Structure 1
């Protein structure tokens, strides 16, 4: 195998592939990336047995072939090569080495046979549709902060993507929750997605998927089966197993009867929460919200380190209310708001609170209160 490729193209492809590779591996071949050169394209394939990513890049292929080489080492070498350089990769079957040459730099890396590399079994995808990258990016970006990290409730360790009934018909919906906060994001239902079975996309896959969705002009092809999900762009294909479990009935958690309405400038609110929370060193520091007519007082009282208080002008006309929240949860939810104003809907000091962006119901967040 021998091919030449621009350093920028090589780095982009190798970086995407190597990020899937687990740093601590008991199976040596899983630390490698499979390089396949044929025609005028080179493919870089990496897997951890749960996720597989294939990245394609244009190259001048002098001799077709395939080999595997340490993904992290290859990425580090390419990253440190000069910008704009042309990189030539040559595999010598006899020596079992891969030579990387760019300008006056020469590297020689050990390889492992391509036959040992595990390729993820293909799946019979029952649903196929495509969606613009910005739509998928919004669905997953706004939901992922609420993914649970608790291993015992493994079915919450991802984003639940499914078809649901919205206010104006069916929608494509992503939901994540860890029991303390919940995010529910809707988008218009893409053509072909109507019969899709609900799937739980694992946390690591959500992180890898984000790298595919930066280009606003891209259409992403999505394929879903009972056990796998695949996201494909012209250059990259990401295939992942889905979490084998049943996502709980989240609709029961979303309060319907909250009538006390507070509207506040989202950015101002987030900054104020961040400021008052500074005095407490606890991870689960509680912020108290005291609501009166058109006035909100945020306060933190940490007996060991001090106290803080800040007043904000808000739109609120209901009866007086005191309620406490984990500062981290409030900050994460407030930071999701793209519009100027955040609307909080309260019931009582012990009941879950609902938050949305203005009057837009396509993104709804729920946060459980804390005692303060």
Structure 2
């Protein structure tokens, strides 16, 4: 195998690849990138046995072949080479090292047998559809903050993607919850997705996909089965196993009778929460909302630091119901309001019941937040 590639092009691909390659090195081959040259095409592949990324890039190829080399080392070398340099990779086969040359720099890297490199491409994906990158990016951004990190509840360690009945017919929904807050965002069902099974996309896959979506505005091709999902973004294909579990019946925790409605400007509210919560060093940082007619008072108490309070009056707040006091974790409040552009709407029942939070300008998103005692 022999090729020459532009440093910037190779570096961008290696950035995608090395973040997927296994870092713990318990299985040495998983720390390597598979470099394959065939019929004038160069592809790079990395996998940790849960996710695989394959990227095709432009290069001058002069000899077909394949080799595996340490992904992190290759990335670091490419990152530290000067802009504009061409990188040559040359492997003569077998156990011979991979030679790398770039300008006056040269090195050789140990390789591992290509036959030991695992593949995640076996099996069919019966469901296929495409969706705009911006839409998929929105589904991820407005739900992933609520993904659970509690490994014992593994079925909550991802985004539940499924087709569900909405107010205006079937909708494609993304849902995430950690038991303290829930995020549900929906969009039109793309053609071809109508019969797809409900799937749980793992947290790491969501993170890697989100990086790819930052770099492209074109449509994303999605293929899936009951056990795998695949996203193609430009020249990059990300394949992942799905979480083998049953997502809870989340509709049961969405309250139906919350009729006490508070509307407040997102920026004014989130800034006030941050200022009031600064008094406490606790991770939970509880904040109490005392709500009256067109008046919201936020307060926090710290046994060590003191107290803090801020009022938002009718210049910022609309509320015309019975007075209410309710507490929330400050971080959870801001995680939700970070997804909202302008005005936020809270729908309360009482101080101990789940609260619904909505983006006034975007009815496709709904959030549920559990209160806490303050």
1:116-158 per-residue CA deviation (whole Å, 9 max, x = no partner) reads 1011142221211000100111111111000011111110010
RMSD of aligned Cα (Å)? 1.1
Partner of 2:340: 337
Report deviation, 1:300.
Answer: 0.6
Query: Which of 353, 356, 359 is the aligned partner of 1:357?
Result: 359
Alignment of 1:138-177 (within 5 A): 138-177=138-177
Q: Verify the 8 A CA contact 2:291 2:297 in the aligned structure 1.
A: yes
Q: Verify the 8 A CA contact 1:132 1:216 in the aligned structure 2.
A: no
Report whether the alignment pairs 1:232 with 2:232: yes
Runs of 4+ with deviation above 4 angstroms: none
Alignment of 1:103-122 (within 5 A): 103-122=103-122
1:172-219 per-residue CA deviation (whole Å, 9 max, x = no partner) reads 100000100000000111011000000000000000111221245311
Q: Report the Cα distance in structure 2 between the residues aligned to 1:138 and 1:13, rounded to whole angstroms.
A: 24
Report deviation, 1:233.
Answer: 2.4
Q: Report the Cα distance in structure 2 between the residues aligned to 1:136 and 1:16, rounded to whole angstroms.
A: 19
Q: Report the Cα distance in structure 2 between the residues aligned to 1:218 and 1:343, rounded to whole angstroms.
A: 33
Structure 1 length as normaliser, TM-score? Answer: 0.98
Q: Report the Cα distance in structure 1 between the residues aligned to 2:93 and 2:361, rounded to whole angstroms.
A: 64
Partner of 1:366: 368
1:342-361 per-residue CA deviation (whole Å, 9 max, x = no partner) reads 11111100010101110532
Of 156-165 and 213-222, deviating more is: 213-222
Q: Which 5+ residue runs of structure 2 have no aligned equivalent? A: none
Partner of 1:316: 319
Report whether the alignment pairs 1:255 with 2:255: yes
Count of matched residue positions in the alignment of Structure 1 and Structure 2? 371
Q: Verify the 8 A CA contact 1:96 1:112 in the aligned structure 2.
A: no
Which secondary structure state, in structure 1, belongs to the residue aligned with residue 350 of structure 2? coil
Partner of 1:73: 73
Alignment of 1:1-372 (within 5 A): 1-93=1-93, 96-215=96-215, 217-313=217-313, 314-338=317-341, 340-358=342-360, 360-372=362-374
Q: Report the Cα distance in structure 2 between the residues aligned to 1:2 and 1:234, rounded to whole angstroms.
A: 25
Q: Report the Cα distance in structure 2 between the residues aligned to 1:267 and 1:123, rounded to whole angstroms.
A: 48
Of 4-13 and 96-105, deviating more is: 96-105
Which secondary structure state, in structure 1, belongs to the residue aligned with residue 115 of structure 2? helix
Q: Which 5+ residue runs of structure 1 have no aligned equivalent? A: none
Q: Report the Cα distance in structure 2 between the residues aligned to 1:44 and 1:335, rounded to whole angstroms.
A: 36
